[in-house]
Amino acid sequence: MMPLAAGGAGGTLEEGPVKLEPGSAIAVPLMTGDMDMTAIGTVTEVLGDRVLGFGHPFFSEGEVSLPMGSGYIHSVIANLVNSFKLGSALKVQGTLHADQVMGVAGKIGEAPATIPIELRCVYADGTLDQTYHFNAAIHRGSRRCWRRCRR
């Protein structure tokens, strides 16, 4: 995974497909709110309410429970070493259940619960007192990392 600093969508976009269909963008929002961390890929196939995407693993973690929805591609950055897309999540439409070697799979419907986070930053000299609000995906990999980091 390669984090990128990019401008946000700044609200809902009216253009681009909201429907998950083959070839459209699939978004996996890991954190939303005042900061957005969303993985963007391509929908491979939709069979009823089942969605297959990416065509490669996300984190290759097997069973997962992450928010999944439609996305919008703003631009493609071509590079000989590593091309990538700049995109935004449009609408959460279900749950990603599997992260396998051949891709990801999810189901349209109810989205998984997220964790609300409130972060207050106060400068010692009093020039800033700002509160930020986020919703983070509940992810078992983050629990493993947290246990490792606490040691």
- Average pLDDT (107-129) is 93
Instruction: Give Cβ neighbours of residue 150 (< 8 Å, ≥ 6 apart).
Output: none
Residue 7 confidence class, pLDDT cut points 50, 70, 90: low
Domain residue spans in the chain? 25-112
Distance of CA 114 to the CA centre of its chain: 12
At residue 8, the pLDDT reads 55
Burial of 37: CB neighbours in 10 Å, binned 0-12, 13-18, 19+: middle
Residue 3 confidence class, pLDDT cut points 50, 70, 90: low
**pLDDT higher than 60, residue 89:** yes
**pLDDT higher than 90, residue 17:** no
Q: Which of left, alpha, beta for 142 (phi over 0: left; psi -120 to 50: alpha)?
A: alpha
